[in-house]
Structure 1
Amino acid sequence: MTTAESRRSAADTTGPVVRTTAGAVRGRREDGLAVFRGIPFAQPPVGEGRFAAPRPPHAWEGTREAYAFGPPPPQEAGIQGRTAGPAAPLGDDWLTVNVWTPDADPAARRPVMVWIYGGAYKLGHSGSPGYDAQHIARDGDLVVVTFNYRVGMEGFALIEGAPANRGLLDQVAALEWVRDNITAFGGDPGQVTVFGESAGAGSVAALLAMPRAAGLFRRAIAQSVPGTYFSEELARDLAGALAAEVGLRATVADLSTTDPRRLTAAGQGLGRKMHQYQDRWGKAAPTVTPFSPVVDGEVLPATPWRALADGVARDVELVAGHNREEFQLFLVLGGLLGKISDEQVTAALRLFVPGPDGERAYRAAYPDAAADELYERVHSDWLFRMPTVHLLDAQVAGGGRAYGYELTWPAPGSKGVLGACHGLDIPLVFRTFTADLGSLLFAGVEPSPEAEALSSRFRASWTAFARTGDPGWPEYDSERRLVQILAADPVVTGYPEEESRRLWEGHEFTALPLLM
């Protein structure tokens, strides 16, 4: 054994020990924090538990080592930062939590932030290096929790004989674990803030609307909320198509003994050809993901916009915002920059923009926009920007408090063509500039003092909100619509995408329907 290995071995036996409801866990001390990884919050969802709601974890004897992240749930490959990666652990104990805490002292009662990853509801895991929460916990002097939830077929396909929205039910189970255990890690279960990006933000919005999640968190941060929630009819049709990819029916009886990797491949295969079924699946077809939360009337009784406008989350304080050029990331990754035709712009405007005169109105509002720019704008508006601002409006209409923001600082990597694109907020919040998606968005450049300052501002605002309910700028309302612009020189101003907002005024984001 080397000297370094000997030191680590000694540290392993003297690390902090915390007793959870299922048993004791031992973590490690890392740069002033106590860190615990891979703690089960539910039983492995395999065997009889396959496609079932999460079940409480089995208790264990002795002290369990909480040194390594749990294995990611089955998932397909994706863009940088959203795959399990070759070094990810193997196994079926997918449902685990991780905790970063300044001090595992039950008397500390620090605020708690719980991160929900994104990934189009079909990929992602909490062990991704881009979600290393040490800087948030250390800079904010609070407790941070991350966790895995089922994605893709395992978590979101509407399967006969299985509950809908199993991925959301996993999230509720993780939050219940936080409620029951976080005091022992130095956290305050009455001061929990959930935060997430993209599908993670869509999950946050869904949790705000879910009766089963009521009371499990006090505050919420939704970064780039996607507008895609499925009707039961659409979700059932998509699940049938997914199962047909492997010659089966979308039932628990058919799928529960099928290797998850076959189902992952089925999801990936269907995603590649969804655009061929636009006449059947409508706006869901171009998203290349057959998964989203299902408005099933039980787990998720209504869309988040309808639920919030009805006041179901008026007691939860909300921060919601988006990035200025959300869809630019997908144009760059798809090799589409400079290749968008006016015919493609016309098709996008006619598909996504509300109202019979939507195409003309968009072209009139942005008369000087090139094809690429108008194509990016309409996709960003319908998929992320308008759903986000409408969520703010719904929260205010329902009597709740809300704060809005827009990130306008451009990503420095890829020769500067990415702009303030989708996902840029992740490496800024976590200060993980060289990990996962950050390695693309900051490719070939050292993080500048400007990037470091903006990253610090993100964390200061997010942790202040978790601690006090105030991120440091004025509340959003339906008259002034003040939002925080996150840039090199941050300012508070009226909502900067007002031209688009007016074009979408009065539009209701409903569950996406099955068209035929």
Structure 2
Amino acid sequence: MTTGESPAPDTDGPVVRTASGAVRGLREQGLSVFRGIPFAAPPVGPDRFQAPRPPRPWDGTREAYAFGPPPPQETGFAGRTAQVPLPQGDEWLTVNVWTPEPDPCAARPVMVWLYGGAFKLGHSGQPGYDAQHLARAGDVVIVTLNYRVGMEGFALWAGAPANRGLLDQVAALEWVQENIAAFGGDPAQVTVFGESAGAGCIAALLAMPRARGLFRRAVTQSVPGTFFSVDLARDIAAVLAAEAGRRPTAADLAEADPRQLTQAGQALGVKMLSYTDRWGQAAPTSVPFSPVVDGDVLPSTPWQALAAGAARDIDLLLGHNRDEFRLFMVMAGLSGKITDETAAQTLRLYAPGGEAGEAAYRSAFPDAGPERLFERVQTDWLFAMPSLRLAEAQLAGGGRAHVYELTWPAPDSAGVLGACHGLDVPLLFGTFGADLGALLFSRGEPTPEAERLSAFFQRAWTAFARTGDPGWPAYAADTRPVQILDAEQRVAPYPEERIRRIWEGYDFAPLPLLV
């Protein structure tokens, strides 16, 4: 069933009683599936831009057949937003459950997925996040959820709590703790997993006191390093509000149609580069949203928190893809257009030490041309090094981490994407013809290599959810063992040693306001 479709009523479907009321799901290919269950009240009216509130109870049995409506968001990129009819309404905050059997005595491991989308896009009803294959492969319960994105979820307004999208995720995890046993899951065996912005959210949850005790394990796939300082977030919010013709206050913005605000966010995104003198490294990303290190909801960056021991009791699996930034280069039409001057400017902006960082990259990659250097440093700054440094912080804080790198190249029709950003998602979910998978896999059809790699992903991720061990050695500071995900799986020392040395000791601090 695709997003937005409503199946015929099924009076024989499985019924589960939640704390808010009973829900009836569907039997689909050996699984019981429940969609669109509210975990919080609609964040509209007086609740607009506020922390999520408990869901409203209902009488009778609620049909949980269709995904809830996505939160307000921009139009999408690279298949991130499904090109199918989407449900409408204001019940943005819902969960979906795939379970082998809603037996309260089953106590299966639970995996809770957080989608990516640059903190401004995404919803749990995207076909690429269909969890049926993963649930069956690992005999686990899968939960996916919606959280507020963009101006609703991450912009810093006066009169509103920071990081409302993160607070939505906490509320959903509290719902899991209270209700998942009735669906056959074990609330003591919850693993959160997510990719890109979803991985950044999980990194934030690891650092948040309000999320303590809500999950036992975490998987972060391509953590972004772009957390905002309060000063930067306030300045961006003021420009966003002005773009919408409003003041940067919750009271004023709550009167605006959500569509007006998403249009303002999209309009600012395309001209952020002109704010480089004020917003520095954040400006070229064209993403005006990120978790804010506000000192309350998020007291410190994940790297600081983990190094201080905040997640030492959480099992952590993390990694990145070798060629992350190639996807964005192709999307922006930059392939073949990067000059040496552009590469030099980008190296000085993102590499540690500015000009010294540029020299270090040119020395480490003496045969690399401008395009390779442009792509490499942004892969490293945005995803690769934040991921590796998170593993190092976990070790420093007394915890344990398992690390992977995906090096298998996508079989895209043009053959230019390599092991790019997002490739891990269709491999994990087995959704090769949906969303980003349709771009990365020619005609949406997996090769035999892709099917074998997908099976490895599913075995490793669900084994980790069950035991805390994905099947390869934990990362160590001296030997640095990493699972290499390619046509042939192997464990080897971290393969990007030249890059690791360039970034050694770098602090992923909150991005500052420059003026």
Question: How far 1:86 sits from its partner (Å)?
Answer: 4.1
Match of 1:272 among 270, 273, 284: 270
Aligned counterpart, 1:366: 365
CA contact (8 A) 1:44 1:92 kept: yes
Match of 2:243 among 219, 242, 245: 245
Question: How far 1:477 sits from its partner (Å)?
Answer: 1.2
User: Secondary structure of the equivalent of 2:309?
Assistant: coil
Aligned counterpart, 1:323: 321
Aligned counterpart, 2:196: 198
Match of 2:304 among 280, 303, 306: 306
Question: How far 1:328 sits from its partner (Å)?
Answer: 0.4
Question: How far 1:333 sits from its partner (Å)?
Answer: 1.2
Question: How far 1:80 sits from its partner (Å)?
Answer: 3.0
Distance, in Å, in 1 between the alignment partners of 2:8 and 2:480 is 56
Aligned counterpart, 1:188: 186
Distance, in Å, in 2 between the alignment partners of 1:274 and 1:85 is 27
Question: How far 1:9 sits from its partner (Å)?
Answer: 8.1
User: Secondary structure of the equivalent of 1:496?
Assistant: coil
Q: Does 1:475 align with 2:469?
A: no
Distance, in Å, in 1 between the alignment partners of 2:9 and 2:473 is 46
User: Residue type of the partner of 1:505?
Assistant: E
CA contact (8 A) 1:84 1:125 kept: no
Map 1:64-83 to 2 at 5 A: 64-83=62-81
Distance, in Å, in 1 between the alignment partners of 2:380 and 2:10 is 50
User: Residue type of the partner of 2:371?
Assistant: D
Distance, in Å, in 1 between the alignment partners of 2:20 and 2:270 is 42
User: Secondary structure of the equivalent of 1:220?
Assistant: strand
Aligned counterpart, 2:13: 15
Distance, in Å, in 1 between the alignment partners of 2:117 and 2:45 is 26
Identity %: 70
User: Secondary structure of the equivalent of 2:165?
Assistant: helix
Map 1:395-406 to 2 at 5 A: 395-406=394-405
CA contact (8 A) 1:72 1:84 kept: no
User: Residue type of the partner of 2:332?
Assistant: G
Question: How far 1:253 sits from its partner (Å)?
Answer: 1.6
Query: Which digits, 9 at most, give the CA deviation of each residue in 1:86-142, with x for residues without a partner?
Result: 411011100000000000000000000000000000000000000000011101001
Distance, in Å, in 2 between the alignment partners of 1:210 and 1:23 is 30
Question: How far 1:462 sits from its partner (Å)?
Answer: 0.1
Aligned counterpart, 2:118: 120
CA contact (8 A) 2:27 2:33 kept: yes
Query: Which digits, 9 at most, give the CA deviation of each residue in 1:144-171, with x for residues without a partner?
Result: 0000000000000000000000000000
Map 1:32-71 to 2 at 5 A: 32-71=30-69
User: Secondary structure of the equivalent of 1:72?
Assistant: coil
Map 1:273-292 to 2 at 5 A: 273-292=271-290
Aligned counterpart, 1:256: 254
49-58 or 406-415, which deviates more: 406-415
* Equivalent pairs, count: 509
Map 1:147-162 to 2 at 5 A: 147-162=145-160
393-402 or 409-418, which deviates more: 409-418
Root-mean-square deviation (CA, aligned residues, Å) is 1.1
User: Residue type of the partner of 2:376?
Assistant: R
Distance, in Å, in 2 between the alignment partners of 1:346 and 1:369 is 12
Distance, in Å, in 1 between the alignment partners of 2:43 and 2:237 is 19
Query: Which digits, 9 at most, give the CA deviation of each residue in 1:184-219, with x for residues without a partner?
Result: 000000000000000000001000000000000000
CA contact (8 A) 1:139 1:459 kept: yes
Structure 2: runs of 5 or more not aligned = 1-5
Distance, in Å, in 1 between the alignment partners of 2:176 and 2:78 is 29
Query: Which digits, 9 at most, give the CA deviation of each residue in 1:17-70, with x for residues without a partner?
Result: 000000000000000000000000000000011001000000000000000000
Distance, in Å, in 1 between the alignment partners of 2:352 and 2:180 is 45
Question: How far 1:414 sits from its partner (Å)?
Answer: 2.9
Aligned counterpart, 1:494: 493
CA contact (8 A) 1:221 1:319 kept: yes
User: Residue type of the partner of 2:417?
Assistant: L
User: Residue type of the partner of 1:339?
Assistant: K
Structure 1: runs of 5 or more not aligned = 1-7
